[in-house]
Amino acid sequence: MATIVVMPQLGNSVESCIIVEWLVSEGDTVAVDQTLCSIETDKSTMEVPSTDAGTVLKLLWAEGDEVPVKDPLIILGEAGEDISALVPSDSAAEEASAPQDSPEAEVPEAPAPSFATTAASGAVSPRARALAGSKGIDTSSIAEGSGPHGRVIERDVQAVIAQGPAYTSAATQLGGTAASGTGLGGRVTTADLLKPAPQAPAPLAVTSADFPGASTTEKLKGVRKVVAQRMMASLQESAQLTLNTSANAQGLLALRKKLKNAEESLGLGKITLNDLVCYAVVKTLPKYPAFNATLEGLDFTLFEQVHLAFAADTPRGLLVPVIRSAQSLSLKQFSAEAKRLASEAIEGTIAPDYLSGGTFTVTNIGSFGIESFTPVINRPQTAILGVAAITPRPVVTAEGEIGVEQRLGLSLTIDHQVIDGADGARFLKDLVRAIENIDVTVLA
């Protein structure tokens, strides 16, 4: 009997996967746990194993297709087995479009098979909620989602967006149409309906035959698509304020030099300046619970443990691995775990669960010579620290002379909904103290 292998859900936040490469073809015989294809989620690259054995009767998607999780992926069975009841039939559509000899002759349309559950739960996925919030869409207006148990997922919200702008209740009663709205979330208001149609400007004389020149357009997908949505949602859902300061980096540089020259058997030579800064953050956060927290709607959650996320620049785009329970690790353990996660993120083999659950994020672009910047909060977290370059700064010594000091730039972005500016300043002051006395901090 033919069986269907579905696209597995590789993490709580994963809603769809892109098929990178099929490793089997129709007619091949596969065994249980044999790899069927490689896929790319919005976080990593994975392989899909077969959950059954048999002959490949039908590949339901092509390479490059984006497949929702839990949707049918491949059909297995006995060679020559009839699977017409399991896949949509093209013949019905062809017959319906063909000319009819007699008006009485009607060909009933064969219903396409449905694999979705029918019991709606009213649940909304985090990504769908974020997209709906950024576009001003009320998810309760979606009667039933296409996810498991009727869950509203991202593609359901995208379908609503494709239908055009939403209308306010007053605009709906007034009647009429508008291409776009100026209301909250792009809603069409009565003012939009009453606004006179703009006059088309007179065409300008074309001065170049090849204007505007060659270009290419492609849809955002994978990691870049997720980053785009999350950055917009972060700025729209939080009141972000950035504070800038710097710390004397002399202690950091001195300790890094000692660790690099330490006996090889101690395994301390690979500890980096970024490891030391992040470790100082971990030691500072317990004093400021509001910074080690998440805010979702009006739910403000404070965490006892520090799950430190860090931005990783990978060939596939920005990923943010999470060092779990970082406060319980020694400096050596912390550094080793950071390198493991960064390596797996770059290679595309990191488990999706290690790309979520962070309570505070550190992003470091100091290696590019950036002296200060405005990091965007990794929602639903409430704060993020940007680490900039170490640069020489003029200082006045205790003797009143002009000297030069190596300073590390720090940029802290906070969510002003739950963190006041004064608290942000206090956090930075304590963090600077921890960094400038890093040799004591790592022993605490």
Give me the domain span that covers residue 413.
Answer: 237-443
pLDDT digits (tens, 9 = 90+) for 201-240: 666 665 666 888 889 998 888 778 888 888 999 999 999 9
pLDDT, residue 88, reads 58
- pLDDT band at residue 121 under the 50/70/90 scheme: low
**Pair (170, 312) in one structural domain:** no
Q: Classify residue 206: in a domain, yes or no.
A: no
Query: Of 111-115, 135-139, 433-437, which has the strongest mean pLDDT?
Result: 433-437
Same domain, residue pair 69 and 154: no
pLDDT confidence bin for 117, thresholds 50/70/90: very low
Q: Does 322 lie in the same domain as 242?
A: yes
Residues 332 and 422 placed together within one structural domain of the fold: yes
Q: Which two tokens stand for residue 268?
A: 């301390």
Place of tokens 């207006």: 141
Of all residues in the chain, the percent with pLDDT exceeding 70 is: 83
Of 262, 227, 256, which Cα lies nearest the Cα of 355? 227
Read off the pLDDT of each residue in 182-188 and give the average, rounded to a whole number: 66
Identify whether residues 254 and 178 lie together within a single domain.
no
Domain check: are 364 and 293 in the same one? yes
Residue 177 lies in a domain: yes
pLDDT at 185: 57
Compute CA distances 413 → 171, 198, 283, 365, whole Å. Answer: 39, 41, 19, 15
Residue 195 lies in a domain: no
**In terms of domains, do 417 and 319 share one?**
yes
Beta-strand relationship, 317-319 and 29-30 = unpaired
Q: How confident is the model at residue 89 (pLDDT cuts 50, 70, 90)?
A: low
Q: Higher-confidence residue: 391 or 64?
A: 391
Q: Which of 42, 77, 112 is the last residue of a domain?
A: 77
Asked if 342 and 433 sit in the same domain, the reply is yes
- Overall domain count for the chain: 3
Question: Average pLDDT for residues 252-268, to the nearest whole number?
Answer: 93
- pLDDT for position 206: 56
Q: Once rounded to an integer, what is the mean pLDDT over residues 20-37?
A: 91
Using the 8-state DSSP alphabet, how is residue 328 labeled?
G
CB neighbour class for 59 (10 Å; exposed up to 12, middle 13-18, buried from 19): middle
Question: Which DSSP string corresponds to 146-190?
Answer: SSGGG-B-HHHHHHHHHT---B-HHHHHH----S---SGGG-B-H
Higher confidence at residue 392 or residue 210? 392
With bands split at pLDDT 50, 70 and 90, how would you rate the model's confidence at 122?
low
Residue 415 has pLDDT above 60, yes or no: yes
Residue 90 located in a structural domain: no
Question: Residues of the chain with pLDDT > 90: what percent?
Answer: 51
Which among 49, 77, 105 is the end of a domain? 77
In a domain, 279, yes or no: yes
Q: Considering the chain, what is the average pLDDT of its residues? A: 84
Summarize pLDDT for 327-379 with one digit per residue, the tens.
999 999 999 999 999 999 998 888 888 999 999 999 999 999 999 999 999 99
Helices (H), 58-168: 90-97, 126-135, 154-162
Task: Pick the last residue of a domain from 43, 77, 111.
Answer: 77
Which positions are catalytic?
416, 420
pLDDT at 402 over 50: yes
Neighbours of 423 (CB within 10 A): 15
18: domain CATH number is: 2.40.50.100
Task: Answer yes or no: are the C-beta atoms of 350 and 44 closer than 8 Å.
Answer: yes
pLDDT of amino acid 97? 44
Query: Residue 174 above 90 pLDDT?
Result: no
For residue 129, give the nearest of 148, 145, 112, 111 by alpha carbon: 145
State the DSSP H helix or E strand holding residue 333, giving kind and residue range, or none if neither: helix 331-347
Could you please report the per-residue DSSP string of 268-303? -TT--HHHHHHHHHHHHGGG-GGGSEEEETTEEEE-
Task: Confirm whether 205 is domain-assigned.
Answer: no
In the predicted model, what is the mean pLDDT of residues 30-45? 83
